Amino acid sequence: MKELFYTVNLINHEYWVAVYIGRDFKKVEKRILKHFEGNRPDDMEMENFRGKCWMRSGFAPFIFVNTKYCKTNIKICATLAHEAFHAIEHIFETIGESYKGEIPAHSISIILKEFEYYKNK
């Protein structure tokens, strides 16, 4: 599968998520450093897991899906849904809202729908 990077606006343009799907660790590390304005997250070990969601106060969550382990679309989507939940949880906690119900569910859905869109582009 080709490498993908995309962003998804959620509640409005103020709340969004960055998504990188691939296996090039040098590229994802560069994107993360750019995304977090040069502040390297403490837990940058990337090679030994299917996915990761990095979150930092004042920044949009950054989701990484590792195609070294997720080699099929269903495994990518399952991992992406799992990490999207963490991203949505972070955003809703940041704004002081409950992440139960339809709005967070649709937020996870749009992250997955955007994967389908960019995968076929």
* Predicted local confidence at residue 47, as pLDDT: 64
How much is the pTM? 0.90
Q: What is the largest CA-CA distance in the chain?
A: 38
| CA–CA distance, 38 with 108 (Å, rounded to integer) | 27
Q: Which two tokens stand for residue 97?
A: 């809202």
Cβ-based neighbours of 84, under 8 Å, separated by 6 or more: 17, 53, 63, 107, 108, 111, 112
pLDDT, one tens digit for every residue, the chain (121 residues): 789 999 999 877 888 999 999 988 888 888 888 988 887 776 776 667 899 999 888 889 999 999 999 999 999 999 999 999 999 999 999 989 887 888 889 999 999 999 999 988 8
